[in-house]
């Protein structure tokens, strides 16, 4: 089941640079593991912003929340979830 997720990152200025770097590195690994598993299906950078738009393919709302609330950057993100479904005009097999 698909979800559209917008993530806007605001890292506080008083977070020590090393701690920030370590969190960002963990975030990358966490994201790439989920991408390889197929659960984090797409991720794109929004031009001009420290933000991304992602598509998740998970079992249900609970699994989505478990993944999002486990993001190393979760405490520093504004997140907006939009549930998606197959569009009646879609031709691509895997857009659902």
Tell me the sheet residues that pair with 53. Answer: 6, 44
Q: Work out the burial of residue 52: count CB atoms within 10 Å of its CB; fewer than 13 is exposed, 13-18 middle, 19 or more buried.
A: middle
Select the residue interacting with its own copies from 16, 18, 47, 93 (CB under 8 A): 47
* Smallest gap from residue 85 Cβ to its own copies (A): 4
Q: How far is the CB of 18 from its own copies (least distance, A)?
A: 16
For residue 64, with 0-12 CB atoms within 10 Å meaning exposed, 13-18 middle and 19 or more buried, which class applies?
buried
Record the tokens describing residue 87, joined without a space.
Answer: 């569009």
Per-residue contact flags (x/-) with its own copies for residues 50 to 79, judged by CB under 8 A: x-xx-x----xxx-xx--xx-----x---x
Residues that bind its own copies (CB under 8 A): 1-5, 12-13, 27-28, 31-32, 35-36, 41-50, 52-53, 55, 60-62, 64-65, 68-69, 75, 79-92, 95-96
């Amino acid at each position: 089941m698909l979800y559209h997720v917008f993530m806007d990152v605001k890292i506080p200025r008083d977070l020590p640079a090393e701690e920030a770097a370590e969190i960002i590195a963990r975030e990358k690994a966490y994201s790439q593991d989920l991408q390889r598993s197929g659960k984090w299906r797409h991720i794109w950078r929004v031009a001009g912003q420290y933000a991304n738009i992602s598509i998740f393919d998970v079992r249900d709302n609970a699994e989505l929340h478990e993944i999002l609330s486990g993001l190393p950057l979760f405490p520093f993100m504004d997140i907006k979830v939009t549930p998606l479904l197959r569009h009646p005009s879609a031709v691509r097999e895997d857009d659902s």
